[in-house]
Amino acid sequence: MTTYSLSSPLLSLLIFGLASIFTAAQSNDPRFLRWGDQGDGTYANPILNGDFADSDVERDEENDRWVMITSTNHLSPGMTILESTDLVNWKNTGHAIPTITWEPQYNWDKMNGYRWGCWAGDLVRHNGEWLCYQIDFQSGLYLTRAKDITGPWSKPVRLLKRKHWTDPAVFFDQEKKEAWLVCNWGKGSPPRPDQPHEIKLFKLSCDGSKLLDEGRTIFSGIAVEAAKIRRFNHQWYIMLIEWQGEGEARDRKQLCLRSTTDSIYGPYESRTVMERAKDSDRSACQGSLIEAPDGRWWFMHQLVQNGEPVFHGRPQCLQPVTWNDGWPMIGRDIDDDGIGEPVWRHDKPIESDSTFLLQTSDEFDGKTIGPQWNWNHEPRRERFSLTANPGQLRLIASKPVAAKRPRLKGAFWGAPNTLSQRQIGIGKTRVETVLDLVGVKEGLRAGICHFSGSFSGYAGQFAVFGVRAEPNGRRVIFFADSESSHTGEVLETDTVYLRSDTDFDQATFSWSADGEAWHQTEFHYQLRFGNWRGNRPGLFCWNLKTDDPQKAGYVDIDWFRYTPSAR
């Protein structure tokens, strides 16, 4: 993390300039700058150029659409739901896990679940309802249900209380009237590339609500995980990922298992069906096989964060699939070694005139906040409101709870009701918001933020920019990150406009008293990847001095406007 002082502007600009030159050299790859629907009947990967990790895609035939879930870790509500009619353009629909209250560490008064929460899950339509399975690595296997994909979703019910399990996937065999669940087991979080792991198979009740046995190992390998089950032509197929190779060629690869009989227990033969391209340093794996209505096949998968750029997390890509002798070929065999590599541009699966649907901005004029948002841990629900001042989001300040993890420096990690969403794209983005300061009290801090997280010993990364109320009644512009805090100009108005601009992994900050004349500050922040999460822009409000709601104060936020990077 690089920090800057107002007392050394020349040094600040010099360091920032050198960082910009370095990151610009990394950002010239058009495969990440161009993305999504290109408007000419083609799409460019990634189709979701943000931290949409651990996806699972299910066909909703009744409504002629596809539905996707992606993981959210410690953020609430959990397990983001998106929908699409063409597999390229997606919009946020809601969340399959309304609360993550099964362990006290996720509550607003603990906020100690930064490594855990909602990991990879599986979504299925069965007997007229939606079922979402998810494993919290520290707690067990959970199931939520809903009649409609938009909810309401049931409270999570635990089906298996056991640690060191991940990546559940289910299959309902309508022909045999059987149900199955597979998941990954092995010590380590996540699986390291030198560790043996196992794919466990469980019998599942036909309504999907109960495991019927203790499970059986059907495959083992080095750090195998993310298994998905399919059955057709009287054979079973299991898609999963495995670490393979030696030296620099060692990497996660997409593996396909195919049974030699019509028994789900095998035996299985295996084949590697996709690997990263030789000119790429990011793993291409972990996803869903999808059959389109015209009979063509596709594979939705993530790019893993082992290469550059990483600050936006794990984006989603869509690959064409061809079948050869009963085996799927994902992408294109570019190097003629019999294994598919990702394609970066392709004809769309379905003709559509869809435009960019993914919600980002929010006018806060509804009964609920938009589905693109998540709270940092479970929110303190009495400390935010959309009705106290209709048409605005009121954030009532809380006093941050004490951090339990020593590497998480700063009040930010213990502040309840921080609201954030995924960064979209690696190019130029802009966040703008306006705060009404009438309710501000001494000790309050509020504004916009960027953060990722902490993982495996790495310190948490964050930056906050906004207003600080001082004892003498003054309100000043302030900036803080995980290492330092600075103050800027004194505000003379009851309203302040805030802006954050990013260009690749560099963020700069500006403010305005009227929304027209903007003041560029010297504050800078380098976007980072952490806790297996990419950068997240958002809103915050806390008070270091008191937790009394009458004394802590509040801010009213009229709108939040987020412009993602161009496609």
- Backbone angles phi and psi of 26, in degrees to 5: -85, -20
Measure the CA–CA gap between 124 and 206, rounded to whole angstroms. 13
Measure the CA–CA gap between 281 and 342, rounded to whole angstroms. 12
Residue 458 has pLDDT above 60, yes or no: no
Confidence of residue 19 (pLDDT cuts 50, 70, 90): very low
Angle at 417 between CA 416 and CA 421, to 5 degrees: 130
Q: Stretch 389-415: mean pLDDT, rounded?
A: 88
Confidence of residue 454 (pLDDT cuts 50, 70, 90): low
- Measured in residues, the chain has a length of 567
**The pairing of beta strand 75-76 with beta strand 65-70:** unpaired
Q: Stretch 330-341: mean pLDDT, rounded?
A: 96
Q: Which residue has the higher pLDDT, 62 or 22?
A: 62
Cβ-in-10-Å burial (0-12, 13-18, 19+) of 256 comes to buried
pLDDT single digits (tens) 356-400: 789 999 999 999 999 999 999 999 999 999 999 999 999 999 999
CATH topology of domain 9-18+359-563: Jelly Rolls (2.60.120)
* pLDDT for 530: 79
Q: Give counts: helices (H), strands (E), the chain.
A: 3, 38
Confidence of residue 74 (pLDDT cuts 50, 70, 90): very high
Angle at 57 between CA 52 and CA 61, to 5 degrees: 140
Q: Domain map of the chain by residue range? A: 9-18+359-563, 55-347
* pLDDT for 207: 97
Residue 191 has pLDDT above 90, yes or no: no
Confidence of residue 31 (pLDDT cuts 50, 70, 90): confident
Confidence of residue 22 (pLDDT cuts 50, 70, 90): very low
- Going edge to edge, which strands form the sheet with 225-232? 225-232, 235-244, 251-259, 268-274
* pLDDT for 492: 94
Segment among 3-17, 116-130, 274-288, 291-305 with least mean pLDDT: 3-17
Provide the 8-state DSSP code for 110. T
Residues 6+ apart with CB under 8 A from 158: 102, 139, 140, 141, 142
* pLDDT for 406: 57
- In 89-173, the DSSP E strands lie at 91-97, 121-126, 129-136, 140-146, 157-160, 165-173
Measure the CA–CA gap between 438 and 553, rounded to whole angstroms. 9
pLDDT single digits (tens) 123-149: 999 999 999 999 999 899 999 999 999
Of 3.30.70.100, 3.40.50.720, 2.115.10.20, 1.10.3720.10, the CATH number of 55-347 is 2.115.10.20
3-class DSSP state of 511: strand
- Select from 147, 126, 96 the least CA-distant residue to 208: 126
**Dihedral, 378, 382, 387, 391 alpha carbons, nearest 10:** -50
Segment among 12-21, 111-120, 197-206, 461-470 with least mean pLDDT: 12-21
Q: Stretch 326-352: mean pLDDT, rounded?
A: 96
pLDDT single digits (tens) 248-264: 889 999 999 999 999 99
Residue linked to tokens 């951090």: 403
* pLDDT for 37: 95
**Dihedral, 380, 376, 123, 354 alpha carbons, nearest 10:** 110
- Going edge to edge, which strands form the sheet with 129-136? 121-126, 129-136, 140-146, 157-160
Compute the mean pLDDT over every residue in the chain, rounded to the nearest whole number. Answer: 91
Residue 270 has pLDDT above 50, yes or no: yes
* pLDDT for 411: 92
Q: Stretch 426-437: mean pLDDT, rounded?
A: 97
Angle at 454 between CA 448 and CA 455, to 5 degrees: 155
Q: How far is CA 162 from the centre of its chain?
A: 24
Residue linked to tokens 């019999």: 338
